[in-house]
Amino acid sequence: VLFKADFGQQEPRIGAGVSGDKDLLYDLEHGDVYCRVASRVYGRPITKADREERQTGKRNFMAWLNGSEGHQFKDAAPWLTEREAKDIAQWIGQQYPTFQAFRRQTIADLRTNGYVRTAFGRRRYLPGIYSPLAADQKAAAREAIIVPIQGTAADVLKIWLGRLAPQLPPGAHIILIVHDEVVLEVPIEHMDSIPEIC
């Protein structure tokens, strides 16, 4: 049997944790952030039942979380004008001011140190921040925003896999890892134990 395990809303949760944004953490625990963003995009209430619309909200939220700008929001929802896309990005930022402050501090730290860290202390050096070219500086700043989130997500996955593998029953194997999802091949007789192990 193929079994897929993933981390629910891993990157938004890490973003809330590393930034200390209690509003974002509250919204993740007590609602659906993606539906909230989708409701803003479509101008009407969106629920989990509206799967395609929620996916649009997710793409927009993740674009914001990873430091994207207006044109990348248009990729997530092509019918938006440039102005509407920027409005969505600004609106999300206004909902989570602590994360916005964390983002600014992360870029300031990069300018001071030349690197940023994951939550586990792993460093990522981004020398482009010292480039004389504004485009290089902008790219390094955008990358700096991503590292504490995606880098921490990668660290968590490595730790989890190290703990998961020894617990797998005989004949079970990890066969594929895609972002925050792990696909296992499991003998059917051991299938009942896998959800608890994962």
The residue that leads in pLDDT, 118 or 86, is: 118
Q: What average pLDDT score do residues 44-55 get?
A: 86
- Contacts of 67 by beta carbon, 8 Å cutoff, 6+ apart: 103, 141, 142, 145, 146
Enumerate the β-bridge partners of residue 124. Answer: 116
pLDDT per residue as tens digits for the range 146-160: 999 999 999 999 998
User: Residue holding tokens 């660290």?
Assistant: 155
- Contacts of 15 by beta carbon, 8 Å cutoff, 6+ apart: 21, 24, 65, 99, 149
pLDDT per residue as tens digits for the range 100-119: 999 999 999 999 999 999 99
pLDDT per residue as tens digits for the range 92-101: 989 999 999 9
Would you list the DSSP string of the chain?
-EEEEE-TTHHHHHHHHHHT-HHHHHHHHHS-HHHHHHHHHHTS---TT-HHHHHHHHHHHHHHHTT--HHHHHHHSTTS-HHHHHHHHHHHHHH-HHHHHHHHHHHHHHHHHSEEE-TT--EEE-GGGG-SSHHHHHHHHHHHHHIIIIIHHHHHHHHHHHHHGGGSPTT-EEEEEETTEEEEE--GGGGGGHHHH-
Compute the distance between CA of residue 182 and CA of residue 27 in angstroms, rounded to an integer.
Answer: 26
Compute the distance between CA of residue 38 and CA of residue 54 in angstroms, rounded to an integer.
Answer: 6
What is the pLDDT, as a whole number, of residue 9? 82
Q: What average pLDDT score do residues 11-22 get?
A: 93
Does residue 70 surpass a pLDDT of 70? no
- pTM, full prediction: 0.82
The residue that leads in pLDDT, 6 or 135, is: 135
Q: What average pLDDT score do residues 170-177 get?
A: 91
Q: Residue 86 in contact with residue 78, Cβ under 8 Å?
A: no
Span of 71-80, 89-98, 174-183 with lowest mean pLDDT: 71-80
Closest CA to 34 of 92, 101, 73: 92
Length of the chain as a residue count: 198
Span of 62-76, 86-100, 142-156 with lowest mean pLDDT: 62-76
Q: ∠96-101-103 over CA atoms, to 5°?
A: 95
What is the pLDDT, as a whole number, of residue 30? 85
What is the pLDDT, as a whole number, of residue 50? 86
Residue 177 region by backbone torsions, left for phi larger than 0, else alpha for psi between -120 and 50, else beta: beta
